[in-house]
Amino acid sequence: MTYYLGIDAGGTHTRARISDSEGRTLGAGEGGPANSRIGLALAIEAIEDASSAAVLSAGLGRGDVGRIRAGIGISGLNRKGVLKGLREHPFPYDSLAIASDAAIACLGAHLGQDGGIVIVGTGSVGFARVGDETVVVGGYGFPISDEGSGADLGLRAIRRSLWARDGRIAHTPMTQEIIDGFSGLAGEIVAWMDKANATDYAKFAPLVMDHANRGDPVAEPIVQEAALRIDRLIRVLLDRGAPTCCLMGGLAPRLHDWLAAGVRERLRAPMGDALQGAIQLAQLRGLPPGRAE
């Protein structure tokens, strides 16, 4: 009996799922955050926690672990040393395949068939599998990339709120709410910024979306521009040969209605989730550990 372990190692938490060779789910587990930015050792710990929990919940014993083929999708895989560090770690599985978080989301969304995905949450990225090729667009991180993401929405909204505070533009309900949130004090905004990361900026995204939906004259063009950026990511994937595309991530349901009509028409609902994709990855590339990719 061969078992398949799929792991989705993300910035906020890590999830694992085990299935048998007929695709039946046997167990699942969770672990802490595994973003490569917080350090590879912690990421590996989160992966092992989630995997052990999944193995336990599947009722597998110590002797079964050697018959597991694992697939890991991890965010920030293009960070220096991450792939090497994961490959060198002595995971106990029969085989291990490693890919980006976007790659497993894409495999899951299209059940291994050709297709593209655009993930829009705290960050944004486009990814497609077309034949033997993979296409990656964006997703390099905030602030140099991740256009149209929650962090991007938040940054733009804060910028414009300061413009309104300065009298460069007129205040709107959104800019007023944001400035009031900092008690109107520039010093508080600066102190917040000094420690803010992408996740902190993205916390403003729901507020921006709410105001945009009510026609706030500052929020509306911010969301329209974000939608244009996401449109562009989708169109690049379609132009590069992806037959369809799925919009995924925390902001997807809210941004969907703002996309161009022609783009919305080409979108499909994902067929499976990222964990299903990680399991597909394990099946696709069941190489011995030494040759893991």
Binding mask 87-126 for a second copy (x = CB under 8 A): ----------------------------------------
Asked if 162 is part of the footprint of a second copy (rule: CB under 8 A), the reply reads yes
Q: Residue 244 in contact with residue 267, Cβ under 8 Å?
A: yes
* Residue 240: CB minimum distance to a second copy, A: 7
Residue 110 has phi, psi (to 5 degrees) of: -110, 15
Rank residues 112 and 123 by Cβ distance to a second copy and give the closer one. 123
CB 193 to a second copy: min, Å: 5
Nearer to a second copy, 90 or 167 (CB): 167
Which CB sits closer to a second copy, 62 or 168?
168
Q: Which is nearer to a second copy, 78 or 224 (CB)?
A: 78
Residue closer to a second copy, measured from CB, 94 or 231: 231
3-class secondary structure per residue, the chain: CCEEEEEEECCCCEEEEEEECCCCEEEEEEECCCCHHHCHHHHHHHHHHHHHHHHHHCCCCHHHHHHEEEEEEECCCCCCCHHHHHHHCCCCCCEEEEEEHHHHHHHHHCCCCCEEEEEECCCEEEEEEECCEEEEEECCCCCCCCCCCHHHHHHHHHHHHHHHHHCCCCCCHHHHHHHHHCCCCHHHHHHHHHHCCHHHHHCCHHHHHHHHHCCCCCHHHHHHHHHHHHHHHHHHHHHCCCCCEEEECCCHHHHHCCCCHHHHHHECCCCCCHHHHHHHHHHHCCCCHHHCC
**Residue 258 Cβ vs a second copy, minimum distance, rounded to whole Å:** 19
Q: What's the CA gap between 169 and 274, in Å, rounded?
A: 43
Decide: is 136 part of the binding site for a second copy (CB under 8 A).
Answer: yes
- Minimum CB distance to a second copy smaller for 67 or for 84: 84
Residue 141 binds a second copy (CB under 8 A): yes
Q: Which of 41, 59, 140, 184 binds a second copy (CB under 8 A)?
A: 140
Binding-residue total with a second copy (CB under 8 A): 33
Where in 29-68 is the site for a second copy (CB under 8 A)? Answer: 37
Q: Which of 13, 87, 240, 256 binds a second copy (CB under 8 A)?
A: 240
| 186 forms part of the interface with a second copy (CB under 8 A) | yes
Smallest separation (angstroms) from a second copy to the CB of 28: 31
**Binding-site ranges for a second copy (CB under 8 A):** 37, 76, 78-80, 136-138, 140-141, 143-145, 147, 155, 158-159, 162, 166-168, 186-191, 193-194, 232-233, 236, 240
